[in-house]
A and B are shown apart, each in its own frame.
Chain A
Amino acid sequence: MKALPVGDSALLVEVASVDEAQALHAELLRRRAEGSLPVREIVPAARTVLLDGLADPVGWASELTTARIPPTPSSTQVVVELPVRYDGPDLADVAALWGVSEPEAARIHAATEFTVAFCGFAPGFGYLTGLPTRYDVPRRATPRTAVPAGAVALAGPYTGVYPRSSPGGWQLIGTTDAVLWDHARVPAALLSPGARIRFVPVGAA
């Protein structure tokens, strides 16, 4: 683990894998909840967790690099279920990349339990991990100018759901009617870092 000060009041903690980043994130949330880590923002990402709004980043750097980080406690959390129709325009391409039929690609995706590794790109957009690395797929060579809200998509090791219509280069495999982001709702984001997710097929695929 490496801890890099960022300006005068932030610290970027870097680890070796997305799993370690999730474990570190869970531990930092636990410390904040118990009151021992006064910080404004805890922002997990692919290999890092950013602590922003820290009074003493250099002090925390030495504290955290010597800390023992327990593995992510997973069994206690509720699984969020997202209804999905595997009807995306790129499902055939993804199935070909995986070397399976389209129904089999849908079955593999729906049988996977995902974790929200981190959010970004747009409010409520989660980067979900859980598929084995052999199912990594490249982005589309040419991004679409408009991906519809609710599109379930793959890129690299991640699955994501577009909270609203936006340009995007991910491979679209399905559609959900779940509302990913509603700023009038509490909480506004359906998916937050650390949440466990399962896609549940509805209707005819």
Chain B
Amino acid sequence: MSDRALVVVRAGALTTVQDRGRPGHAHLGVPRSGALDAPAAALVNRLVGNAPDAAVLETTLNGCAIRPRSTVIAAVGGAPSPVGVGGRPVAWGAPVVVPAGELLEVGAAVAGVRGYVAVSGGIAVEPVLGSRSTDLLSGLGPAPLTDGTVLPLGKAAGPHARVDVAPQPRPPAELVLRVTFGPREDWFTPAAVQDFTSRRYRVSSASNRIGLRTEGPALERALSGELPSEGMVLGAVQVPPDGRPVVFLADHPTTGGYPVIAVVRATDLPAAAQAAPGTPVRFLAVRRR
């Protein structure tokens, strides 16, 4: 293999390749996928001079370590964490040089959940339906990284950004998700609709790239029947039989049979991607734009 490649030395808890996903295939049962914290992925790409659709690594809670075979510019963003090159600490949220054969270490997140690692040239695995993203629901795209995985890199495109440290939003202490009601709020009792936006939930540790699961008051249904499967959108708040709301994230199924009580504003989803288990969640009803 050419030296435009990197070796995964420590894959971490769950590290996947992500870009802007593969929208447009939902009618075939193909999830959109893509980076959960899309602004963070876009920022690290910009820092290393990549195009906005270049593929990056998305880490989960405990980072990863990679060794590029040729000298690259790298940037780490999203969840704040220590970053090291060749054993020496370097800046987080800034472009850094990683000489050929040196180790880039991304430590455990000090806050938030998902870290993003961009490397100049981008991760150049073969795209599937126009995207290099790993889709954990349907298994499209490259498998989650394991120790020893070798990933090809693309040609470095532009000059990297001249910044010291790029400003990034802090992971939320409380996750406030603005929602518009519907399409199926009439499947719930008035008390449940009231509880949904007035009571407090917490992020469940069962959350993943498919959905942000919550713990809190169970929402009681007014209708008992079965809803025929219908199309699902990103940010849909689906309520399964246990009554605890699930916010659909990038790898969500394209259709589903549990009623959707409300939909989260797209601009609030990056914060949802960074809300660690236990974080308080409040659903705030807003008017449809």
Nearest chain A CB to B143 CB, angstrom units: 14
Set of chain B residues within 8 Å of A9, measured between Cβ atoms: 266
Known: A7-B265, A43-B255, A120-B253. A189 touches B28 (CB 8 A): yes
Query: When the two chains form their complex, are residues B231 and A50 in contact, meaning their CB atoms are under 8 A apart?
Result: yes
Residue among B24, B25, B260 with the most chain A CB within 10 A?
B25
Residue among B23, B129, B140, B230 with the most chain A CB within 10 A?
B230
> CA separation between A118 and B265, bound complex, in Å?
27
User: Is A161's beta carbon under 8 Å from chain B?
Assistant: no
Set of chain B residues within 8 Å of A47, measured between Cβ atoms: 228, 230
User: Is B235's beta carbon under 8 Å from chain A?
Assistant: yes
User: Is B182's beta carbon under 8 Å from chain A?
Assistant: yes
Interface-lining segment among A87-95, A121-129, A138-146: A121-129
User: Is B113's beta carbon under 8 Å from chain A?
Assistant: no
Nearest chain A CB to B56 CB, angstrom units: 21
> CA separation between A121 and B263, bound complex, in Å?
21
Set of chain A residues within 8 Å of B140, measured between Cβ atoms: 123, 183
Set of chain B residues within 8 Å of A4, measured between Cβ atoms: 182-184
User: Is B289's beta carbon under 8 Å from chain A?
Assistant: yes
Known: A42-B27, A43-B231. A183 touches B183 (CB 8 A): no
> CA separation between A188 and B228, bound complex, in Å?
26
Query: When the two chains form their complex, are residues B183 and A120 in contact, meaning their CB atoms are under 8 A apart?
Result: no
Interface size on B, residues (CB 8 A): 34
Nearest chain B CB to A108 CB, angstrom units: 25
Contact of A188 among B23, B129, B266 (CB under 8 A): B129
User: Is B91's beta carbon under 8 Å from chain A?
Assistant: no
Q: Give B138's nearest chain A residue, CB to CB.
A: A123
Known: A12-B183, A123-B138, A183-B140. A45 touches B28 (CB 8 A): no
Known: A8-B180, A45-B228, A120-B254. A193 touches B288 (CB 8 A): no
Query: When the two chains form their complex, are residues B254 and A40 in contact, meaning their CB atoms are under 8 A apart?
Result: no
Residue among B228, B233, B289 with the most chain A CB within 10 A?
B233
Contact of B29 among A46, A48, A49, A124 (CB under 8 A): A124
Q: Give A51's nearest chain B residue, CB to CB.
A: B231
Query: When the two chains form their complex, are residues A45 and B265 in contact, meaning their CB atoms are under 8 A apart?
Result: no
Residue among A121, A125, A193 with the most chain B CB within 10 A?
A121
Mask: chain B, 197-228; 1 = CB below 8 Å from A; 0 = not: 00000000000000000000000000000001
Set of chain B residues within 8 Å of A193, measured between Cβ atoms: 27
User: Is B109's beta carbon under 8 Å from chain A?
Assistant: no
Query: When the two chains form their complex, are residues B27 and A41 in contact, meaning their CB atoms are under 8 A apart?
Result: yes
Set of chain A residues within 8 Å of B231, measured between Cβ atoms: 12, 41, 43-45, 48-50, 52
User: Is B236's beta carbon under 8 Å from chain A?
Assistant: yes
Chain A residues 1-33 with CB under 8 Å of chain B are 4-10, 12
> CA separation between A58 and B183, bound complex, in Å?
13
Set of chain B residues within 8 Å of A43, measured between Cβ atoms: 26-27, 231, 254-255
Set of chain A residues within 8 Å of B30, measured between Cβ atoms: 123
Set of chain A residues within 8 Å of B236, measured between Cβ atoms: 6-7
> CA separation between A196 and B24, bound complex, in Å?
22
User: Is B128's beta carbon under 8 Å from chain A?
Assistant: yes
Mask: chain B, 137-176; 1 = CB below 8 Å from A; 0 = not: 0101000000000000000000000000000000000000
Set of chain B residues within 8 Å of A40, measured between Cβ atoms: 23-24
> CA separation between A119 and B29, bound complex, in Å?
5
Q: Give A156's nearest chain B residue, CB to CB.
A: B228
User: Is B194's beta carbon under 8 Å from chain A?
Assistant: no
Set of chain B residues within 8 Å of A119, measured between Cβ atoms: 27-29, 254
Query: When the two chains form their complex, are residues B289 and A45 in contact, meaning their CB atoms are under 8 A apart?
Result: no
Mask: chain A, 131-168; 1 = CB below 8 Å from B; 0 = not: 00000000000000000000000000000000000000
The 5 A-B pairs at the shortest CB distance, nearest first, are namely A50-B231, A7-B263, A43-B231, A46-B228, A120-B255
Sample of 30 A–B contacts (CB below 8 Å): A4-B184, A5-B180, A6-B182, A6-B260, A7-B263, A8-B266, A40-B23, A41-B24, A41-B26, A41-B27, A43-B254, A43-B255, A45-B255, A48-B230, A48-B231, A49-B231, A50-B26, A58-B288, A118-B229, A119-B27, A119-B29, A119-B254, A120-B29, A120-B255, A121-B29, A121-B253, A122-B29, A122-B138, A124-B29, A183-B140
A sample of 4 more A-B contacts (CB under 8 A), given A10-B233, A121-B29, A123-B28, is: A5-B182, A12-B183, A50-B231, A52-B26
